[in-house]
Amino acid sequence: ERVDKAAATQLVFEDALFHVVEHVIRTTGIDRLILTGGIGLNALGNMRMLDRFDRHFYRNALGRDARLHLWVPPTPNDAGVTIGAAFIGAYLAGAGIGAPAEHAFYCGSAPTDADIRNALDEPDIAWTTLGDTSDPAQRDALADLMAYITERDAIFAVMQGAAETGPRALGHRSILANPRNPKTRELLNAQVKFREAIRPLAPMMTREAAERWFQLSDGAADGDYNAYNYMVLTAQAKPEAHNVIPSVIHADGTGRIQIVRENADPLIHAYLKALGRRIGVEIAVNTSFNVGGPIAQTAEHAIATLRRARGLDAVLLFSAEGPVYAAWQKDGTQAGRFAGWYAAWKAERKTR
């Protein structure tokens, strides 16, 4: 009954939203829309809006060969108010337009090497060093290690660089897992996140994988599909995707996708490319690194979350200076699994 009420509320919401958007289109003739406010996070409604206001609608309503193009910023909710306040303050102070940003969603603090080592100094935590991402070759090797353990159905967290702004984890404070394992959603919801079994998992992927496995809308901002960068749009999975990546396709056949760009996140992009070689798809499960509370922001938060999530195999902590660490619980159901995988991965690389 609770789920049915939620579905009914969604339909009523969409009807109201489309009524307002149609009024704006008919009175102004616009074909480009920036959507803000908390409703901008309704990814399913955003997808259906693009489906509704397509070329057929514009030809019939306005006699034009056009369609709606939608852009939703990564922080359309109340958190974005601070960005607007900063922007108007800079404008009033006479600040000029800056250089285009490589990304618009990493605004927190990066953990330092000292922060991480202090957080790891706990009697119940085992840890090891993995490498240094200041060396691109080592970064690519670490991406392959991440793909190696994903292939073996590891569930692990990543903390790297500045934290995301907005309510979505986009690769800097994320829990990652295998999208091909049909049990991944059950394991994550029951043993890591401790939430309802019906909760969907979102996929992160390269653009090539997005085009291969999902029906992307050409109204998703522009020809580069950059409206899919922030998990603010769902996309319909292609029929052949259902058996290939079952853990990231919801009951309605959609996924709330994130396209990862190499220039914005070279580590995660390299990880996804390595997954293509390891499991055959450049796609990973991506859910926020938290358990019943805020997303982990600091190394100390990361270790506290590791303790609460008994099904988490490890946390990979990437310091601002370059060194990378893996941490896991000494006791518990997942104790020692990462250490075994890491040893096997190193042995495999020696034989190449």
Among 57, 92, 127, residue at a domain's last position: 92
Residues 73 and 118 in one domain: no
Residues 171 and 308 in one domain: yes
Q: Give phi and psi for 132, each to the nearest 5.
A: -145, 115
Return the pLDDT at 223: 72
Q: Between 100 and 137, name the one with better pLDDT.
A: 137
Degrees, nearest 5: CA angle 73-75-249: 75
* Reported confidence tier of residue 221, pLDDT bands at 50, 70, 90: confident
Domain around 240 = 113-350
What tokens were used for 70?
């939608």
pLDDT at 351 over 80: yes
* Reported confidence tier of residue 103, pLDDT bands at 50, 70, 90: low
**Taking residues 9-30, what's their average pLDDT?**
98
**Taking residues 257-265, what's their average pLDDT?**
95
Residues 31 and 60 in one domain: yes
Give the global pTM: 0.94
DSSP 8-state code for residue 106? B
Degrees, nearest 5: CA angle 321-204-278: 85
User: Does residue 100 lie within any of the structural domains?
Assistant: no
Among all chains, which residue has been given the structure tokens 């991480």? Answer: 116
DSSP 8-state code for residue 15? H
The CATH number assigned to the domain holding 141 equals 3.90.870.20
What tokens were used for 176?
């990652």
User: Does residue 221 lie within any of the structural domains?
Assistant: yes
pLDDT at 122 over 90: yes
**Taking residues 178-187, what's their average pLDDT?**
96
Among all chains, which residue has been given the structure tokens 């603010």? Answer: 232
pLDDT at 332 over 80: no
